[in-house]
Amino acid sequence: MYETVKAQLEKAQINFNVHDALTILESVKQEGVWATRVSFAYSVFENKIYYVLNSNFNHILAYQFP
């Protein structure tokens, strides 16, 4: 998985964003006994965490820091 993520990040454009990060995380999610339960990406510009529970990338949640 490390190689997959590394290759995708090396191809990333300068305008890489949270959606791009979550797309990469979705591409390496695990299933079965070692299933991915939480995936998240932090936006430093928004001071917000975007996260996905149980690999449901169709339902992206967000937490805005105060």
Distance CA 63, CA 56 (A): 17
pTM: 0.86
Q: How many domains does the chain have?
A: 1
Instruction: Give residue 58's pLDDT.
Output: 96
- What is the model's pLDDT at position 38? 97
**Following CA atoms 9, 14, 19, 22 in sequence, which dihedral angle do they give, to the nearest 10 degrees?**
20
Q: What's residue 37's pLDDT?
A: 97
Give residue 63's pLDDT.
Answer: 97
pLDDT averages per 10-residue partition of the chain, 66 residues: 86 89 95 95 95 97 96
Give me the domain span that covers residue 20: 2-64
